[in-house]
Amino acid sequence: MKSQFVHAMDLLQEETKKGDLTLRKIADILGEEGHSIFLLFLSLPYMIPVSIPGMSTPAGLLIALVAIMLYLRRPVWIPKRWEKLHVSATAVAKVSEGAERVWLKVSHLVKERWIFFHDSPFFRSLNLFIFVANGILLALPLPIPLTNTMPGIAIILCSLGHTEKDGFFILCSYLWTVLVFLFFGSLALSAKLFV
């Protein structure tokens, strides 16, 4: 039986045959309970070490919004002005196919464990911080290699953990976020020294 994630990616790929998709349509296909899948979908394009001009800012802000809805246990909410934003069928197909390949490679590693990282009110708040902080860092329009990839990896790790209630992956996202802060801190320090 297909996992919820693979099923969602297959549905997206079927929909791309009809043409471009709106953000609202993508969110609807992923479902009301698909926050973590949506977060994973939004962050996967940033795994390449080169920034994508103009795309990371709305994606990062949307990641932060979806994370807040996840924390509040509410359906995915998208600002009205973004709902009808069109995403090319080619881009959706590439991301969903790539996401499915990634999932098939890691699915045997992801399993339900240490669920207090997922269910505990304290860790739910910490997870919200991980998503929002990395989403905001992803949203920064910095034309520097790895400034999208570093926070993107943290979001992916936490998303994988939430998808299957896997506390190990959530913990990995905490540790990776420390590296993200060190990375951005070093960039800020370097910029200050050269100004």
Q: Can you point out the beta strands (E) in the chain?
A: 21-22, 86-87
Report which of 49, 52, 26 is spatially closest to residue 37, judged by C-alpha positions: 26
Res 1: pLDDT: 41
Q: Which residues have a Cβ under 8 Å from the Cβ of 127 and sit 6 or more positions away?
A: 67, 71, 117, 118, 158, 162, 170, 173
Tokens found for residue 173: 């996202």
- The total number of structural domains in the chain stands at 1
**Whether 173 contacts 130, CB under 8 Å:** yes
Res 195: pLDDT: 62
Res 142: pLDDT: 81
* Full-model pTM: 0.83
**Whether 170 contacts 127, CB under 8 Å:** yes
What is the span of the domain harbouring residue 28? Answer: 4-194
- Could you read off the pLDDT tens digit of each residue along the chain, which spans 195 residues? 456 777 778 888 888 888 888 888 888 887 655 788 888 888 888 876 655 556 788 888 889 988 998 888 887 777 777 778 788 888 888 888 877 887 788 878 888 899 999 889 999 999 999 999 999 999 988 878 888 999 999 999 999 898 888 999 999 999 999 999 999 999 888 877 776
C-alpha pair distances (Å), 177 with each of 2, 4, 25, 91: 31, 27, 31, 27
Res 53: pLDDT: 59
Res 153: pLDDT: 94
C-alpha 67/C-alpha 61 separation (Å) is: 10
